[in-house]
Chain A
Amino acid sequence: EVQLLESGGGLVQPGGSLRLSCAASGFTFSDCGLSWVRQAPGKGLEWVSTILRTGDTYYADSVKGRLTISRDNSENTLYLQMNSLRADDTALYYCAKDFGGAQDYWGQGTLVTVSS
């Protein structure tokens, strides 16, 4: 059974940093692309970043230069390093497994709140 479990969310002040983690199981982690997708309170889905099995990375323009996606294939864990956080980064952050470009399995999300 595929499982994705996010952690690391919390309350942070504007300009601060957080690192999100996503522990994966139930599939061959190193063979898969992985993504972060966020959802601001009461809003729609916003794709944030993807890391392919090759290590290639892609980012939304709104987070480029501030958020960094990475993966540890030995630990089956996906990360999102979040720096220079802003109020509009407040959202529930989902990690998801890629399937031919779409996302076929999702975690339950971890909430990031940026506020003073």
Chain B
Amino acid sequence: DIQMTQSPSTLSASVGDRVTITCRASQNIRYNLAWYQQKPGKAPKLLVSKASTLQSGVPSRFSGSGSGTEFTLTISSLQPDDFATYYCQQDERYPRTFGQGTKLEIK
């Protein structure tokens, strides 16, 4: 199985900060990576597919990059609505696997 490792597990930041979350795959997944945002008590929301394709309606301050085994999700200027938990997921092959999550907290 492909293991997905996110870092950091927790990130404290302030409104307006630029933040980056990293996701590493245990083997080459090409560009087959998605990013999700989850708020407490809510279902996950797809932000980015195929490593860098922003979903319709997702603010442009979010961006994804990377290929192979290393990927990043960047928020260019944090807004209050962005404080949530973020997950990466590989869809290169089955079984699909998620990273353990990165909780973005208000500093």
Q: Which residues of A contact B (CB under 8 A)?
A: 35, 37, 44-47, 50, 58-61, 94, 99-104, 106-109
| Cβ–Cβ < 8 Å partners of A104 in chain B | 46, 49, 55
C-alpha gap A101/B95 in the complex (Å): 11
Known interface pairs A94-B43, A101-B91, A108-B43; A47-B49 also in contact (CB < 8 Å): no
Contacting pair B94 A44 (CB below 8 A): no
* 4 interchain residue pairs of minimum CB distance: A101-B91, A102-B34, A106-B43, A47-B96
20 extra A-B contacts, CB within 8 A, seeds A37-B44, A106-B44, A106-B45:
A44-B87, A44-B100, A45-B36, A45-B87, A45-B98, A47-B98, A50-B94, A58-B94, A58-B96, A60-B95, A61-B95, A94-B44, A101-B34, A101-B92, A101-B96, A102-B34, A103-B34, A103-B46, A104-B55, A109-B43
> In the assembled complex, how far is the CB of residue B7 from the closest CB belonging to chain A, in whole angstroms?
14
Number of interface residues of B (CB under 8 A): 24
Contacting pair B43 A107 (CB below 8 A): yes
Q: List 7 A-B contacts (CB under 8 A).
A: A44-B98, A44-B101, A45-B101, A47-B95, A60-B95, A103-B34, A104-B49
Assess whether B65 is interfacial by the CB under 8 Å rule: no
Contacting pair A102 B43 (CB below 8 A): no
C-alpha gap A59/B95 in the complex (Å): 7
When C-beta atoms are compared, the residue in chain B nearest to A104 turns out to be: B46
> In the assembled complex, how far is the CB of residue A69 from the closest CB belonging to chain B, in whole angstroms?
12
| Cβ–Cβ < 8 Å partners of B95 in chain A | 47, 58-61
Assess whether B5 is interfacial by the CB under 8 Å rule: no
C-alpha gap A89/B32 in the complex (Å): 28
Q: Which residue, of A44, A100, A101, has the highest number of chain B Cβ atoms within 10 A? A: A101
Contacting pair B97 A47 (CB below 8 A): yes
Q: Could you say which of A60, A102, A106, A109 contacts B89, with CB atoms under 8 Å apart?
A: A102
C-alpha gap A107/B45 in the complex (Å): 10
Contacting pair B46 A99 (CB below 8 A): yes
C-alpha gap A91/B104 in the complex (Å): 23
